[in-house]
Structure formats: C-alpha cells, structure tokens
Chain A
Amino acid sequence: MSSVIPVAPVPLTKEQAEAMLHHQIKKHHVAIILVHWFNAMTWILEVSTGAALISSRYFRVAPDWYIAMFNGLLGGRANLLQFHIALGVTWILVFLPYGLFGFRTYLRGEMLKVTDRDDMRWLIIRTLQILGKSDEPLPPQGIYNAGQKAFSMVVWMMTPVVMVTGVTMAFRLGSPWVVGWAVVLHFLAVGMIVAGLVVHVYMGAIFPEEKPAFFSMITGTVNELFAYNHHFKWWREMKVAHLAWEQKRTPKDKGVGSDEPEGEPAEKPATDSPG
C-alpha cells in the first residue's frame, strides 16, 4: 500500500476494498468482550427483576402479570429482592476495579472528545439517515462513533449513581430521607441507561450496517473496510502509528509518532467502553 495516508476518506478501488474487507484488525481485547457480555446479562436480569420489584401503582413500570410472574419465578418478593441485591453487588464488585483502573484511558482518552464538530455532525446526520431523511456522508469517526460515545457518556454518568443508590437502598445507609431519594435516583439513572440501551441494542444487534461491530464483540476484530468506512479517524491513527513503527525500524526515515512505544500498534488492544 502507498505510504500516503489520506486525511479524509477517499473512494476506494474495488481491489482495495476487497483487500481491506478480508483484513481483520483487532478492536477488542478478550477481557473487554467478557466484561461486555457479563454486563449485558446483568443488565437484562437486573432491569427485569427491578421492574418486577416496583409493585406500587404510583411508581410501577411493569404490568401485574409481569410482577406476578417474577415473584412466582423466584418464590416471592423477598427472594426477588435478595436476588436483585446479590446480583447487583456482584456486578459492582466486578465493575468497580474495572471502572477505577480504566477511568483515565476511557474517559480522558476518548469520551471527552465527543464534543468535536465531526461528532456533533455525525449524530445529526446519523439520526436523519436512520429516519431516511439524509444521504449526506457521515463525518469521519474515531474508534468509537459519536453515538457510541454519547451512550457511553450516559452510562459513565449514571452507573455510579446506580451503584451508590443501589448500595444505599440495599444496606439502608442513611436516613429514610436518603433512602427515599436513593430509590428515586436509582430508578431515574437506570431509566436513562435503559433509554440508551434501546438504541445501543438496536444499533448493535439489529441495524445491519453495524453488524461488524456486533460481531466484533464476539470475535474481537473488525475488517479494515468497516474501520475505514465507519471509524476513519481510528483507521488513520492506526495507519500513522504503523508507519511510525516502520520508520523507527529504519531510523533514517522521518515520520510522525516516533515516540510511540515499540510493538505492532495494530495488535495493541484497543480501548473500549463498558457500553
């Protein structure tokens, strides 16, 4: 391939596209994949049991039969609550170290870039595209697109709230006033995440264009063409890094990114958000 790396997506030849389609590049570390699916299972169970726990007509979000079914499944409200709490605590224990140690990489590395112009335009155009109102090409994206990052923002802001309020309720840490507000915040935070999840699940599992992204959460890799089309900035970063790595091996050549650590950048585990 040419050593000229385009600064913006250019039309690819059929051969180039074919070659890139069959070149898999690593996107997710296996740990990320495991965490993602653990998280997914937890959320399914916690949201479904949580909805069954709210039986008051004032606050409920699920119908009678649903609540009755879950109570029946777990042998009563007390068991249901115990299950919800036990799983929630497990989830926290798994996620707390993950969140704490990954904080710098995820939040500072990627998430705070969400506000750049491309991202904002991406969000608008993507929405219009899905609704069939726009044919404009999408602005180039990094390893995560603006939609994924927006969802991650919600998740990152709401997850601590869910955890703290959940623990507050489960162990009644504080006065009834505190617990009372904890219930409300827990509900609200989960509600916001669930709203994001609706999009996330649709885009990940149903929306055909993102199918490689879905499979990347199983295999850990995406084809280069998908990366080129959907995550151009990330693709370019990898190319630049790869070039720098090659130049470092032949020091007389000048290039960017000479302070990159040694190793094959493409093989470097990519970052991921918990969403």
Chain B
Amino acid sequence: MARYAMVTDLRKCVACKACTVACSAEWDVPTGQARTHVRATPLAGEFPDLMSSPYVAQCNHCDHPPCVEPCPSGATFQGDDGIVRVDGDVCIGCGFCVDACPYEARYISPRTKKVDKCDFCRPRIERGEEPACVATCTAHAKYFGDLEDRNGEVHRLVFHVGARRLETAAVAVGPNVYYLGRPEQLDLVLASFPPRPPQLLTAGEAWKKLARPLVIGVVGATFLGQAVAFFTQLHKGEGDFDE
C-alpha cells in the first residue's frame, strides 16, 4: 500500500496562491475558505538584514492524526494509504476535529455545515493525475508521490535531500507534508507557525471527562441495582411477591 506524502520547496515557492485557487476551483471550496493556505512569516531581523519565508499549509495526513479520535461519528478516518479523509455523509459538523488539528487544516463549510479539508486530491490521484495544487504550482515547488516508492522524487527529497517535517517536541504527530528550505528559513517557519497542541473543544472535553463517565456511571449503577434486586427476588422466591 502506498504511503502518500507531499514536499513543498519553500526556496522555490513565491507565495503566488495559485495552489489555493486551483484547489478551491477543483473542489468548489466556498468563497472565503481554503483547503490550502499560503502565508508568509513575519519579517525577522532589522532593516536591511531581514529574513522571511512563505509557508504553505494544508492537511498533513499525519502518521498519528490527532483529528481522528475526537470525531464522534467516525467521519474522519485514515485510509491504508495514509490519507486522512472525511466522509461527508457521516460528518455532523461538531467541529471537534477542527480544534484538534495542529495545522489548522480543517474548516466547516458554511454551505454544507460539514467539515472539509485537503484529501491530497484523492479522486485525481486515483485517475493518475497530480493533486490540483501540484499540477498548477507556478514555481514547481510542490512534489507529490509515494514515500515508499524508492525511485520516486518524494522518496528522494525526504530521505536523501532532507526535506523536513514541521513538528516540534511538543507536537510530533508525524506530518506527511515535508518542506525544503534553508535550515534557518525552516526554523523561522516553524517558529512563526508552530503546530498547535491538539485541543478538544469545551463541549468535547465535557463529553469525554463528564458526560461519558456520568452516563456510564448512572446507567451502570441502575443496572447494578436492578441486578441486586433480581438476585434478591430469586433468593426470596417469586411466591413472596404474589398477592
């Protein structure tokens, strides 16, 4: 089974946002939302010794995707190919996964009220095409392929050129979008856009920590109570209860 990954070369990227628009056009993403964002780091340094870098953010299809567990309905799941997918038919739009994502890759569509995000253009790759963002990238700064294909460009860039994952000691979930750049450039990107520790919305927290134990406790307690009654009744014999 393939293990898909993407490499974005930030030395080549000019932040033209062609990827954002191509992706939005391909998947009819509602205006004002995006599956892939192009950002720029704040300037580091003082005039004239300055540094900045573009940063292209999208779903990282992490090895350990923190968005899967908080999804109550199982709409978000990870396929065997590593692609983290959203089954729109199952999504209820609770937004728990949105807050769980360290890379802010998810949004709730104002049109469907369901969650949406990058799926590495899975329908396209199934047809043998590149993802829309890769296909349109004006700077040829994006590479897509199977990490396990030893002859592939992505394998070469990750294992032999040293494309980096944007992760920190605090948030290491194994993102599968890798970045190429000067070391200090990638450090700046990581410092400017550190992956956010996965969060659970208050509602989710309340469910996980309060509602679930409470329901299990109360239902369990009544069940136990009835069990005790049942055995008492067996012990006493049915006759006692007859009129």
**Residues of chain A lying within 8 A (CB to CB) of residue B228:** 130-131
Q: Decide if B232 touches A56 in the complex (CB within 8 Å).
A: no
Given contacts A183-B72, A187-B211, contact A176 B108 (CB under 8 A): yes
| Separation of A17 and B242 alpha carbons in the complex (Å) | 13
Given contacts A192-B218, A195-B219, A202-B230, contact A176 B93 (CB under 8 A): yes
Q: Does A249 contact B (CB under 8 A)?
A: no
Which of A53, A56, A78, A198 neighbours the largest number of chain B CB atoms within 10 Å of its CB? A56
**Residues of chain A lying within 8 A (CB to CB) of residue B212:** 58-59, 61, 187
**Residues of chain A lying within 8 A (CB to CB) of residue B222:** 195-196, 198-199
Given contacts A55-B73, A207-B233, contact A180 B94 (CB under 8 A): yes
Q: Does B90 contact A (CB under 8 A)?
A: yes
Q: Decide if A78 touches B203 in the complex (CB within 8 Å).
A: no
Interface string of A79-123 (1 = CB under 8 A from B): 001100000000000000000000000000000000000000000
| Separation of A209 and B229 alpha carbons in the complex (Å) | 12
**Residues of chain B lying within 8 A (CB to CB) of residue A82:** 89
| Separation of A162 and B30 alpha carbons in the complex (Å) | 32
Q: Does A216 contact B (CB under 8 A)?
A: no
Q: Does B38 contact A (CB under 8 A)?
A: no
Q: Decide if A191 touches B219 in the complex (CB within 8 Å).
A: yes
**Residues of chain B lying within 8 A (CB to CB) of residue A194:** 215, 219
**Residues of chain A lying within 8 A (CB to CB) of residue B223:** 198
Q: Decide if B207 touches A61 in the complex (CB within 8 Å).
A: no
Q: Decide if A54 touches B72 in the complex (CB within 8 Å).
A: yes
Q: Decide if A179 touches B95 in the complex (CB within 8 Å).
A: yes
**Residues of chain B lying within 8 A (CB to CB) of residue A6:** none
Interface string of B69-101 (1 = CB under 8 A from A): 111111100000000000101101111101000
Which of B201, B208, B222, B223 neighbours the largest number of chain A CB atoms within 10 Å of its CB? B222
Q: Decide if B233 touches A77 in the complex (CB within 8 Å).
A: no
**Residues of chain A lying within 8 A (CB to CB) of residue B229:** 130-131, 202, 207
From A130, A177, A225, contact of B203 by CB (8 A):
A177
Q: Decide if B226 touches A202 in the complex (CB within 8 Å).
A: yes
Give the shortest distance, in Å, between A138 (CB) and chain B (any CB). 13
Given contacts A77-B87, A180-B95, contact A56 B70 (CB under 8 A): yes
Q: Does B214 contact A (CB under 8 A)?
A: yes
Q: Decide if A209 touches B241 in the complex (CB within 8 Å).
A: yes
| Separation of A208 and B70 alpha carbons in the complex (Å) | 44
Interface string of A42-60 (1 = CB under 8 A from B): 0000000000011111110
Please name the residue on chain A nearest to B98 by beta carbon. Answer: A176
Give the shortest distance, in Å, between B114 (CB) and chain A (any CB). 7
Chain B residues numbered 210-241 whose CB sits less than 8 Å from any CB in chain A? 211-212, 214-216, 218-219, 221-223, 225-226, 228-230, 232-233, 235-236, 238, 241
Q: Does A215 contact B (CB under 8 A)?
A: no
Q: Does A218 contact B (CB under 8 A)?
A: no
Give the shortest distance, in Å, between A57 (CB) and chain B (any CB). 6
Q: Decide if A58 touches B70 in the complex (CB within 8 Å).
A: yes
From A58, A81, A175, A202, contact of B207 by CB (8 A):
A58
Give the shortest distance, in Å, between B201 (CB) and chain A (any CB). 5
From B206, B208, B214, B233, contact of A191 by CB (8 A):
B214
From A132, A190, A209, contact of B232 by CB (8 A):
A132
**Residues of chain A lying within 8 A (CB to CB) of residue B87:** 77-78
| Separation of A21 and B243 alpha carbons in the complex (Å) | 10
Which of B96, B203, B221 neighbours the largest number of chain A CB atoms within 10 Å of its CB? B203
Q: Does A184 contact B (CB under 8 A)?
A: yes
| Separation of A267 and B29 alpha carbons in the complex (Å) | 64
Q: Decide if A198 touches B226 in the complex (CB within 8 Å).
A: yes
Please name the residue on chain B nearest to A208 by beta carbon. Answer: B241
Please name the residue on chain B nearest to A78 by beta carbon. Answer: B89
> Which residues of B are in contact with A by a Cβ distance under 8 Å?
69-75, 87, 89-90, 92-96, 98, 108, 112-114, 200-201, 203-204, 206-208, 211-212, 214-216, 218-219, 221-223, 225-226, 228-230, 232-233, 235-236, 238, 241-243
Besides A55-B72, A184-B211, A195-B218, 11 new A-B residue pairs in contact (Cβ under 8 A), listed by A number:
A53-B72, A55-B71, A58-B212, A77-B74, A131-B232, A172-B93, A172-B114, A190-B215, A195-B219, A195-B222, A202-B229
A-B contact pairs, 17 of them (CB 8 A): A54-B72, A54-B73, A58-B69, A59-B212, A78-B90, A130-B229, A169-B92, A172-B93, A176-B95, A179-B113, A180-B203, A183-B92, A183-B94, A190-B215, A191-B214, A196-B222, A202-B226
